[in-house]
Amino acid sequence: MKPQQPLAKRLCVLGLLAGFCVHAAAAAQTPALDDKPAFIDSLIERMTLEEKIGQLRLISIGGDMPRPRILEELAAGHIGGTFNTVTRHDNRPMQDAAQRSRMKIPIFFAYDVVHGHRTIFPIGLGLASSWDMDTIARSGRVAAIEASADGLDMTFAPTVDISRDPRWGRTSEGFGEDPYLVSEIARTMVKAYQGKSPAARDSITASVKHFALYGAVEGGRDYNVVDMSPMRMHQDFLPPYRAAVEAGAGGVMVALNAINGVPASANSWLLRDLLRRDWGFRGITVSDHGAISELMRHGVARDGREAARLAIKAGIDMSMADSLYRDELPALVKAGEVDMGEIDAAVREVLGAKYDMGLFHDPYRRIGVAADDPQDVNAESRLHRSEARDVARQSIVLLENHQQTLPLKKRGTIALVGPLADSPIDMLGSWSAAGVAGQAVTLRQGMREALGDAATLGYARGANVTDDQHMVDYLNFLNWDNPEVVQDPRSAAEMIAEAVALANKADVIVAAVGESRGMSHEASSRTSLQLPPSQQRLLEALKQTGKPLVLVLMNGRPLELGWAKANADAILETWFSGTEGGHAIAEVLFGDYNPSGRLPISFPRSVGQIPTYYNHLRVGRPYVEGKPGNYTSQYFEEPTGPLYPFGYGLSYTQFELSDVSLSSRELSRGGTLEARVTVRNSGQREGATVVQLYIQDLVASVIRPVKELKAFRKVMLKAGEEQEVRFSLTEDDLKFFNAQLQQVAESGEFEVQIGLDSQRVQSQRFTLH
């Protein structure tokens, strides 16, 4: 990107010819707030190099330096923005300090508001399971309202990294494996956070992350490298970031990983060519935590000076929690290794983002006045419980339900067991922003309230999440003073015996098992997708009682559920469902809500089958169901394909789909073709399902996937009701990246597949001319 000359300089150059240079320079000292470019140019023109570099620093409160030092640096104009404070009371003195600086440039306040702020919504996988954009938007809007009311201007979200490897702990944060679904959600979330405009008092600027391809780290091991063909990148992994950019995201957080040998933080192809030139991104790029220093560990920078030079030249505007811009840029500019124009370009983006946030018009736009500060930041009245409950309900996926075990009757005796049945912190999931564990409704609390006096609810913990002390220590590493994984001191045998005794007296067992929230988090990659042995042993003992066994899973990644599928009577996937999770799960268990969630990610049968994703490319020797044969693409000692496919989920009612009918067998370029199907609720109660449309390009110049989601519709139907669902297809839906990376739709035959999950579909063919 070519940096622009400051306005006054431009006017001066022109003005010299006309003799009004002095006048133009004077005019630049009175910035016109209504004229964004002129206003920003006039600021840049008057800033010292130190002040400019200060704008490029995003520091973490708490981590980087002591509070008094931060205030000094702010007053000197040496900080552009901060993150990790969550109250107006904390933020106000920092903005005051910035307002005492020579240039009085406001700072912005950022935070990881990923799935809620004070009210915590389900984790990303849970939100995606709703397949409902209005529902997802509601979660983002509430988060923005709550975060902005706490004086925050920006969130490091949404996380739109496609993940096809559930070993990666951050799979939990994203929205699953599919480019189309994740792109829809990316767009929805950006619009929800930013509201009518990023300048609105109740909006926060979205900084989409982690650009790019972070979800594809090799082996699912966090911070690992990514090596990927350009075709796959463009086709499958880049679309969600692009969707967020096109929806107007004001920020982009750059990923920690390398891409094909070049760390994202030093990758000018990624940041300058693709993001800014090709996608037209206007906004700020921020590095991830400490990423610029990490360029030395990646081995692409000899020292801090080289790291800073690579990052600024690649297009990183703001350095996060990193002192290298402050320490190295001044000398780099003086030595001519970095142009002032390059610094100015980055500063212009930072000031532009602040302008768009409305901070030049009012630096206290979201901080407000002290007299209006909430007395108690955690007050109940500040939460949005009914929204959280509604969203959480829709995020729950019913995986199994033999002999209509669910819904449970509100009578008799229920044995609730499991280490996650009454663990408030785990309800919240990772990245729970300013959420308070004590305000989360556990399953035990939710069931007790739902039952009232109607039935007896017994509870036994039954097991620790894990008995592996190494795992416990790892998960508690960052919270020694307040450990999250608290071990029950009793022996495993004692705990199991208590649970079994309880189960023996009960009519049904509800077992809440899975992962503690820290197990599905940054830096929490796993080699196994199994339940830890402590919980597996508990389940096996419970199974021996012969009582109906209902599993309520809480986890942040697909788990290996072979045993559960074979032995449980019902399985509910509830992810980490947030502040109101316990109420929502209880509603589903007792049938007050008919589950409607659908998986946004495939569940592999075993860790050895990873990657398992539905939209894989075709091969020359495909495995054919029922006719496996030797020399076909499969692992021979296990059935092929996922245990639970993408798009799958059951209901307490049944749905039937008619055959697919097409308005024509031909689609012309520029034309439209309609695919129709009738969905009927053939069961006994009202419920919702998701009608999913997939396309397969039958013959193309490059290998195309076996199918790709192109549209979906969530439909609510009363018992016996039916509805025709119509999808319009155009040439755009058939486009893909060819070997030359051009986005094209090639003439020829296509298959439309419509189903209620990605596997069981009805199909029809048509031809594109």
C-alpha–C-alpha distance, residues 151 and 145, integer Å:
10
Q: What angle do CA 395, 399, 402 make, to 5 degrees?
A: 135
Contact 455, 510 (CB under 8 A): no
Q: What is the DSSP secondary structure assignment for residue 264, as one 8-state letter? A: G
* Strand 748-755, strand 722-729: pairing: unpaired
Nearest-approach distance from CB 288 to ligand NOJ, in angstroms: 5
731: left (phi over 0), alpha (psi -120 to 50) or beta: alpha
Give me the least distance between CB of 366 and ligand NOJ, in Å please.
Answer: 19
- C-beta closer to ligand NOJ: residue 157 or 586: 157
Q: How far is the CB of 82 from ligand NOJ (least distance, A)?
A: 11
Closest Cα to residue 728, out of 742, 711, 714? 711
Q: What whole-number distance in Å separates Cα of residue 21 and Cα of residue 663?
A: 67
CA separation for the pair 409, 421 (Å, rounded): 19
How far CA 468 is from CA of 475, 484, 533, 558, 588, in Å, comes to 11, 15, 9, 21, 32
- Closest CB to ligand NOJ among residues 290, 597: 290
Query: What is the C-alpha separation between 587 and 595, in angstroms, rounded?
Result: 9
Query: Could you tell me the smallest distance in angstroms from the CB atom of residue 216 to ligand NOJ?
Result: 15
Judged by beta carbon, residue 265 or residue 692, the one nearer ligand NOJ is 265
Instruction: Decide whether 88 or 209 has the Cβ nearer to ligand NOJ.
Output: 209
Is 289 or 309 the residue whose CB approaches ligand NOJ more closely?
289
Residue type, 529: L
Residues forming the site for ligand NOJ (CB under 6 A): 112, 156, 209, 288-289, 522
Burial 36-45 (b: 16+ CB within 10 A, else e): eebbbbbbbb
CB of 295 to ligand NOJ, least distance (A): 16
Cβ distance to ligand NOJ smaller for residue 7 or 154 = 154
As a whole number of angstroms, the distance between CA 284 and CA 706 comes to 38
Q: Is 161 a catalytic residue?
A: no
Phi, psi torsion values for 762, nearest 5 degrees: -105, 145
Question: Closest distance between ligand NOJ and the C-beta of residue 116, in Å?
Answer: 15
Nearest distance, CB of residue 147 and ligand NOJ, angstroms: 14
Q: Which is nearer to ligand NOJ, 156 or 694 (CB)?
A: 156
CA dihedral 9, 10, 13, 16 (to 10 degrees): -80
The minimum distance between CB 522 and ligand NOJ, in angstroms, equals 5
Nearest to 117 by CA among 364, 378, 485, 476: 378
**What distance in Å separates the CA atoms of residue 637 and residue 659, rounded to the nearest whole number?**
35
CB of 322 to ligand NOJ, least distance (A): 12
- Which CB sits closer to ligand NOJ, 64 or 569? 64
SS3 assignment, position 445: helix
Least distance from ligand NOJ to the Cβ atom of residue 477, Å? 16
Q: Phi and psi at residue 765, in whole multiples of 5°?
A: -115, 155
H or E element in which residue 333 lies: helix 324-334
Q: Output 254 or 496, the one with its CB closest to ligand NOJ.
A: 254
String of b and e for 268-283 (b: at least 16 CB within 10 Å)?
eebbbebbbeeeebeb
Q: DSSP secondary-structure letter at 361?
A: T
Tell me how many helices (H) and strands (E) the chain has: 24, 27
Q: Which residue is nearest to ligand NOJ (CB)?
A: 156
- Mention every residue, 6+ apart, whose C-beta is less than 8 A from residue 636: none
Nearer to ligand NOJ, 222 or 697 (CB): 222
Minimum separation from the CB atom of position 83 to ligand NOJ (A) = 6
* Residue 46: partners with Cβ closer than 8 Å, 6 or more residues away: 28, 29, 103
* C-alpha to C-alpha distance for 51 and 45, rounded to whole angstroms: 11
**CB of 266 or CB of 660, closer to ligand NOJ:** 266
Report the nearest approach of ligand NOJ to the CB of residue 112 (Å): 5
User: Is the Cβ of residue 322 or residue 573 nearer to ligand NOJ in the bound state?
Assistant: 322
C-beta of 171 vs 535, nearer to ligand NOJ: 171
**What do you get for the CA distance between the two ends of the chain, in Å?**
39
DSSP code, position 732: G
DSSP string for 409-432: PSSSEEEEESTTTT-HHHHH-S--
Q: Which of 150, 236, 288, 322 is catalytic?
A: 288
Phi, psi of 639 (to 5 degrees): -60, 155
- Percent helix, strand and coil across the chain, each to the nearest 5: 35, 20, 45
Residues 203/262, Cβ–Cβ less than 8 Å: no
Specify the 3-state DSSP secondary structure of 710: strand
- For residues 708 and 116, what is the distance between their CA atoms, to the nearest angstrom? 30
Residue 420 beta carbon to ligand NOJ: minimum distance, rounded to whole angstroms: 25
| Contact indicator for 742, 230 with CB cutoff of 8 Å | no
Quote the CA–CA distance of 332 and 203 in Å, as a whole number.
37
Active-site residues, by number, are: 288
